[in-house]
Amino acid sequence: MAGNAWRSTVSRVVGAMKSQASHPRTFSRGLQTVTLIPGDGIGPEISTAVMKIFEAAKAPIQWEERNVTAIKGPGGKWMIPTEAKDSMDKSKIGLKGPLKTPIAAGHPSMNLLLRKTFDLYANVRPCVSIEGYKTPYTDVDLVTIRENTEGEYSGIEHVIVDGVVQSIKLITEEASQRIAEYAFEYARNNQRASVTAVHKANIMRMSDGLFLRKCREVAENFKDIKFTEMYLDTVCLNMVQDPTQFDVLVMPNLYGDILSDLCAGLIGGLGVTPSGNIGANGVAIFESVHGTAPDIAGKDLANPTALLLSAVMMLRHMGLHGQAKKIETACFDTIRDKKVLTKDLGGNSKCSEFTGEICRRVQDME
């Protein structure tokens, strides 16, 4: 009896300690290990660029390079190599370059495999207009948070009879709660004023209705953040007319896919957009979302901005705001100056020259 009481106290304390571990950690001293997955195509060169810039900024990061390929594990299930998984489980933070998915390879896409392995349930994409890279839209400053595990991408499809196909969209209470909580916590931790739930509950009454209900419930616990809800089509309509009215957007999988790419298009495309995936158990993998660009791989022409901004997002997640700001400012200043730009940004410098310029600016800021 006394033993039981003692055991329950211990488990409560351990539980409290474990929950603290899931919050972003602050590192005041010591090196933090980050698992680096260079990826394919231009992946290795942009990863090298990011490592160089971090070195110039004297960021307390120790990189652990790992490669991910799909291997067949015991029982016939596809999985990533054990060294990669172990490294990520230990370090909890990852930075990933673009991975290619060969068609008809027999295994699911690498991104999907990573998502399943680490239960990466939230995809976060902050979209901020880059001064110096002109698009028709200025002053964009919003964040899209997309539920990444279920919804329309559950992959459950059947042919009912010949010529009739049904795809199943799955919405669960648990996942909706989890993503809503993450969205509000993100808003609070990053001083954002409002969270908007994007849905289509007028048509998909039960599924999006459930998602919306969960968001409303979670909003009750975060009274300091304004909560609004808006239909997907209204968001699209208003987004292309006036994107400044949006702050943090939270939504299920498909809408998130479309809207996050729409917002990336507003600021200049996938080549300059950072992205982060948050998983259960405190794992976070930051990545560049563009393709592997095999046509320019190895030619020193790639633009490392997307991976660099994702790495900056990673620093912020770890609490290293000062370092993050320094590197981000150096990057934006370089782009704004327009003297040394890679081809896709409108210049004709090499990747190494662009990287060198950013390193120089970072060092000048010391």
Partner 1 sequence: MMQVLYYAYLLLKAACNTLADSFLPLINLCSLPPPAKYGGRHTVTLIPGDGIGPELLTHVRELFRFCCVPVDFEIVSIDSKSTSDDDMNNAITAIRRNGVALKGNIETNHNLPPSHISRNNILRTSLDLYANVIHCQTLPGVRTRHRDVDIIIIRENTEGEYSSLEHENVPGVVECLKIITRKKSLRIAEYAFNAARQNGRRRVTAVHKANIMKLGDGLFLQCCKEVAAGYPEITFDSMIVDNTTMQLVSKPQQFDVMVMPNLYGSVISNVCAGLVGGPGLVPGANYGKDYAVFETATRNTGKSIANKNIANPTATLLASCLMLDHLRLHGYASMIRKAILATVSETRLHTADLGGQGTTSEVVQSVMREIESKGPRTSEQI
Contact between 266 and partner 1 by CB under 8 A: the answer reads yes
What is each CA distance from 94 to 260, 282, 283, 286, in whole angstroms?
A: 21, 11, 8, 6
- Beta carbon nearer to partner 1, 263 or 358: 263
Phi and psi at residue 311, in whole multiples of 5°? -65, -35
Distance CA 51, CA 71 (A): 28
Helices 305-317, 43-56: crossing angle, 10 deg rounding: 50
Of 187, 195, 198, nearest in space to 253 by CA: 198
Distance CA 177, CA 355 (A): 41
Q: Both tokens of residue 284?
A: 């976070």
Taking the complex as a whole, the smallest distance from the CB of residue 164 to partner 1 amounts, in Å, to 5
Contact between 124 and partner 1 by CB under 8 A: the answer reads no
Distance CA 100, CA 68 (A): 11
Residues between 161 and 220 that touch partner 1 (CB under 8 A): 162-174, 200-207, 209-210, 212
CA 218 remoteness from chain centre: 22
Piece in contact with partner 1 (CB under 8 A), picked from 3-11, 12-20, 73-81, 232-240: 232-240
Contact between 244 and partner 1 by CB under 8 A: the answer reads no
- Beta carbon nearer to partner 1, 133 or 286: 133
Taking the complex as a whole, the smallest distance from the CB of residue 339 to partner 1 amounts, in Å, to 24
- Beta carbon nearer to partner 1, 63 or 153: 153
Distance CA 260, CA 254 (A): 10
Sole binder of partner 1 in the list 153, 184, 186, 227 (CB under 8 A) = 153
Piece in contact with partner 1 (CB under 8 A), picked from 1-9, 31-39, 257-265, 315-323: 257-265
> What size, in residues, is the chain?
366
Taking the complex as a whole, the smallest distance from the CB of residue 186 to partner 1 amounts, in Å, to 22
Sole binder of partner 1 in the list 262, 292, 343, 353 (CB under 8 A) = 262
Residues that bind partner 1 (CB under 8 A): 135-137, 152-153, 155, 157-159, 162-174, 200-207, 209-210, 212, 232-234, 236-241, 254, 257-262, 264-266, 269-270
